[in-house]
Amino acid sequence: MADINALIEKMTLEEKAALCTGASSWTTTPIERLGIPEMLVSDGPHGVRRLADVNSLGSDSLPATAFPTASALASTWDVDLVRELGEALGEEAIALNVDVLLGPGNNMKRTPLCGRNFEYFSEDPFLAGELAASLINGIQSKGVGTSLKHYAANNQEYQRFMMSATIDERTLREIYLPAFETAVKKGKPWTVMCAYNKINGTYGSENRELLTDILKGEWGFDGLVVSDWGAVHDRVAALKAGLDWQMPGPREMEVQAVIEAVRNGSLPEVQLNEAVHRILNIVFKAAETPKGGTFDVEAHHALARKISAESVVLLKNDGVLPLTNHQHIAVIGRSAREAHFQGGGSSHINPTKVSVPYKELQGLAGNAELTYAEGYPKDDSYQPAMIDEAVKLAQGADVALLYIALPSFKEAEGYDRPDLDLTEQQVALIKAVSKVQPKTVVVLNNGAPVDMRAWIGDVAAVVECWMMGQAGGGAIADVLFGKVNPSGRLAETFPMRLADTPAYTNYPGENGEVRYGEGLFIGYRWYDAREIPVQFPFGFGLSYTTFKFSNPKVSSKQFKDTDGITVSVDETNTGKVAGKEVVQVYVHDHKSKLVRPQKELKGFAKVELQPGETKTVTIALDFRSFAYYDPAYKQWVTEDGDFDILIGSSSADICLTETVTLASSLTLPVLLNRESTIRDWQNDPKGREIFRSTYELAERLMRSDKGDDSEDDSFIGMDITKFLEEMPPLSILRFHESKLPKSADEIVDDLLKEVHGK
Ligand code: BGC
């Protein structure tokens, strides 16, 4: 490794400034005289989009494997498989001379309308964090870097370049940051990409709190921060906030602005040096991995098929699947011939090859006869003749497979979805076909949930296949014919309808601001709290076999927060075929000072079981599994008390519960002040003692106001004790100032001095 400090000493101001902005759309600025090489980055995240021309942002990318996108990946709930994918991506990056792959995307799914949700993992920060860390570790194990993006709160595409997400501190810490935090701490990505949008009024690229204080400071991120492409507005302000590398380049004006700022003293050179140091560190690290060669196209296509099959979520099955002994299978829907396997935008891959779903069915259908009708057009038009043709085909068949893909004019990077609906033609098609064919199976290709209310009751099965990657056509056939037993589980809730969703009344924002009014309550946290029925809950997915959980154990019923506990449970395959089940562990806090979601996912494991086989699964829970972030203390807090450990196969199917008691190791500072209420004083262990005699005084004074000496607890119809709880001591004492030995202010100030030990 080069001596970076020595190099920085030798660099001119101009060279430093130039290094902090790209030389092209995808490369750093090399400095030949000092032996500083160029570094090349490429999208990402679920395939390598290496453009042939580094000055192009377009679609001339070299062939690479298009793997399933993040919503599909997340549905595998399989960290090992995700790591394996990462390794394959690393190999392709090397073959295509790519130093850093721009991914994974790790934003939370706040609303299913976000057009880019297909590139994100989950509505749950724990699940998303674990999966992102695994993908990063896989890619980086090959000596190729990653770029964790888009940090942070890029949760909608609508006005993504300027919208400000207004998020309270606790929600930011508990929902929108932890997936990044876990990925940074466990995955150590080489780079982090800032978001386009503003967070609480400040652009992601200029957000010092996020980039410097939290990411680099608290989380110890030692890589470089890169801007999203075109996210920098004020280069100097961005550098000051901790944005090291601006992309894309070249941007001569911005380079000059940096030089000028150093010269006129408004940007300290040490700050520029810090960015240069971070960039050089990664540039030289990247150079250590020799690039070039080839990758195994067939092996990666096979891996893409395996991952895709693992990600399929069987949502409904009245017994029609897996398909057996059918003579005539009607295959309907243009996505059976033209696979819809990826999303539009920067993640768009030029695939090495594409499996045609229809042909893959033919390959596994044996003697069955397959017939095909297109069913719906490419565009938004309504074409009844196509429906009539499909109905005729379905009528004469034993089973109808309806391949329905959500078109890219409804879902892509860059814009949001207008609704959760399929096209009018697709809905009409499903309804018409299922009317004549009771064995209708809907095979969905989409990046996010769709509204199914109009037809789900009429069809025999629904198979969610996501944006499945280039080999997905084969994976669908594998699942439909039972070669693969589906084991995908939803990483996001499928709501009944848009109006039920958490952000519904706070989306898309107005006058440049979107308020995250639902706070902590996104995804299942929302549906749990509001008791809103959903189409399919978070964590849900069917199988061709059945499972049973039994024998739950916790390592200790009473434990110290910092020690954590382990939870174990036996999982048995009670059916007739091999299969995989995901054990999900949620934590429920019995009582807490701040409002908490009913339950939160804190552990999971995917297990493969032969028929009749039982395995014991062990899951560790740590301090953070029980803590919440209290903005009053600016830290993660645990409270003494009981917690339920909920073990289940989805957020709505909890089959076992163990109750444990936590002892907090924290000694929190006293927060009492002049505005604290009597309840605050009584809830504080130190305050309670100190306040006792003042409380008795306040109560006496209040009773004296009654005008009679009855002992009962009411005053003009109010319960005295309850009334007092809501009042600050200062306020109640001020009512009786004339009867006090000293002023109310003095009394309270003395109490505060004592409780704060002054
Ligand atoms: C996207 C990023 C992407 C970059 C480079 C941006 O528009 O938001 O995710 O990595 O372009 O293509």
CA dihedral over 157, 161, 164, 170, signed as positive or negative: positive
How many Å lie between the centroid of ligand 1 and the Cα of residue 149? 9
Helix, strand and coil content of the chain, in percent to the nearest 5, comes to 35, 20, 45
For residue 103, give the ligand 1 atom closest to its CA: 10
List, for residues 375-387, the tens digit of each pLDDT value: 999 999 999 999 9
- pLDDT above 70: percentage of residues in the chain: 100
Atom of ligand 1 at shortest range from CA of 160: 8
Task: Report strand pairing: 565-573 vs 547-554.
Answer: antiparallel
Kindly report, residue by residue over 288-332, the tens digit of the pLDDT: 999 999 999 999 999 999 999 999 999 999 999 999 987 999 999
Q: Give the pLDDT score at 716.
A: 86
Q: What is the pLDDT of residue 717?
A: 87
In the reported structure, the alpha carbon of residue 26 is separated from the centroid of ligand 1 by a whole-number distance in angstroms of 11
Tokens of 529: 């709290």
Tens digits of per-residue pLDDT, 197-225?
Answer: 999 999 999 999 999 999 999 999 999 99
Q: Express each pLDDT in 388-399 by its tens digit.
A: 999 999 999 999
**pLDDT at 15 exceeding the cut of 70:** yes
- Res 468: pLDDT: 98
What integer pLDDT is reported at residue 371 of this predicted model?
Answer: 97
Distance of CA 680 to the CA centre of its chain: 36
> Active site residue: 228, 451, 528, 684, which one?
228
Residue (of 160, 448, 94, 139) closest to 296 by Cα position: 94
pLDDT digits (tens, 9 = 90+) for 541-572: 999 999 999 999 999 999 999 999 999 999 99
Q: Note the pLDDT tens digit of each residue in 526-546.
A: 999 999 999 999 999 999 999
The DSSP annotation for 608-644 comes to EE-TT-EEEEEEEE-HHHH-EEETTTTEEE--SEEEE
Helix-then-strand count for the chain, H and E: 23, 29
The ligand 1 atom at the shortest distance from the C-alpha of residue 147 is 10
Enter the tokens of residue 331.
Answer: 């295959």
Model confidence pLDDT, tens digit, residues 655-673: 999 999 999 999 999 999 9
What does DSSP assign to residue 670? P
How much distance in Å is there from the Cα of 161 to the middle of ligand 1?
A: 12
CA distance 41 to 229: 12
Per-residue pLDDT tens over the stretch 614-643 = 999 999 999 999 999 999 999 999 999 999
Q: Which of 8-17, 436-445, 705-714, 722-731 has the lowest mean pLDDT?
A: 705-714
C-beta of residue 684 within 8 angstroms of C-beta of residue 580: no
Rounded average pLDDT over 432-444:
98
How far out from the chain centre does Cα 287 lie? 31
* pLDDT tier for residue 709 given thresholds of 50, 70 and 90: low
56-63: Cβ within 8 A, 24+ apart: 56/25, 57/25, 57/229, 57/248, 59/348, 59/350, 61/348, 61/349, 61/350, 62/96, 62/350, 63/350, 63/351, 63/352
Contact 220, 186 (CB under 8 A): no
pLDDT of residue 353: 98
Question: What is d(CA 580, CA 318) in angstroms, rounded to the nearest whole number?
Answer: 20
User: Which pLDDT score is estimated for 115?
Assistant: 98
Chain mean pLDDT for the chain: 97
Q: Where are the beta strands (DSSP E) in 99-208?
A: 100-102, 145-151, 164-166, 191-194, 198-199, 202-203
Question: Which residues have a Cβ under 8 Å from the Cβ of 648 and sit 6 or more positions away?
Answer: 539, 549, 584, 586, 654, 655, 656
CA atoms of 652 and 182, how far apart (whole Å): 25
What pTM does this model have?
0.97
Ligand 1 closest atom vs CA 57: 12
pLDDT surpassing 80 at residue 46: yes
Pocket of ligand 1 (CB under 6 A): 43-44, 102, 149, 228-229, 346
Report how far ligand 1's centroid is from the alpha carbon of 382 (Å). 34
> Quick one: average pLDDT of 412-419?
97
Q: Show the beta-strand stretches assigned E in 243-389.
A: 313-317, 328-332, 369-373
CA 47 to centroid of ligand 1, rounded, Å: 14
φ, ψ of residue 224 in degrees (nearest 5):
-110, 150
pLDDT tops 80 at residue 711: no
Candidate of 60, 151, 229 to mutate for ligand 1, largest count of ligand atoms within 8 Å of Cβ = 229
Round the CA-based radius of gyration of the chain to a whole number and report it: 29
| pLDDT-based confidence at residue 706 (cuts at 50, 70, 90) | confident
Q: Where are the beta strands (DSSP E) in 117-242?
A: 145-151, 164-166, 191-194, 198-199, 202-203, 224-226
Residue 104 CB: number of other CB atoms within 10 A?
32
Q: Rounded to whole angstroms, what are the CA distances from 403 to 330, 382, 473, 520? A: 11, 17, 11, 36
Q: Which of 43, 106, 196 to mutate to test the pocket of ligand 1 (most atoms within 8 A of CB)?
A: 43
Residue closest by Cα to atom 9 of ligand 1: 346
- Cα–Cα distance measured from residue 537 to residue 463, given in angstroms and rounded to the nearest whole number: 15
Mutation to probe ligand 1, out of 117, 346, 347 (largest number of atoms < 8 A from CB): 346
* Ligand 1 atom 11: residue of nearest CA: 229
Residue with CA at minimum distance from ligand 1 atom 6: 229
Distance in angstroms (rounded) separating the CA atoms of residues 368 and 483: 16
Any idea which residue has 């890619």 for tokens? 139
Quick: pLDDT tens for 98-150: 999 999 999 999 999 999 999 999 999 999 999 999 999 999 999 999 999 99
To 10 degrees, the CA torsion angle through 314, 320, 326, 328?
-80
| Percent of all residues in the chain with a pLDDT value above 90, rounded to a whole number | 96
Task: Among 26, 102, 194, name the best residue to mutate to test ligand 1's pocket (greatest count of ligand atoms within 8 A of Cβ).
Answer: 102
Closest C-alpha to 110, from 166, 177, 155: 155
Which residue CA neighbors atom 7 of ligand 1 most closely?
229
Angle between helices 125-140 and 79-95 (to 10 degrees): 40
Task: Compute the distance between CA of residue 622 and CA of residue 603 in angstroms, rounded to an integer.
Answer: 10
736 CA to centre of ligand 1 in angstroms: 65
CA 443 to ligand 1 center in whole angstroms? 30
Is 195 a residue whose pLDDT tops 90? yes
- Is position 43 annotated as part of the catalytic site? no
CA 371 to chain centre: 40
Span 254-269, mean pLDDT?
98
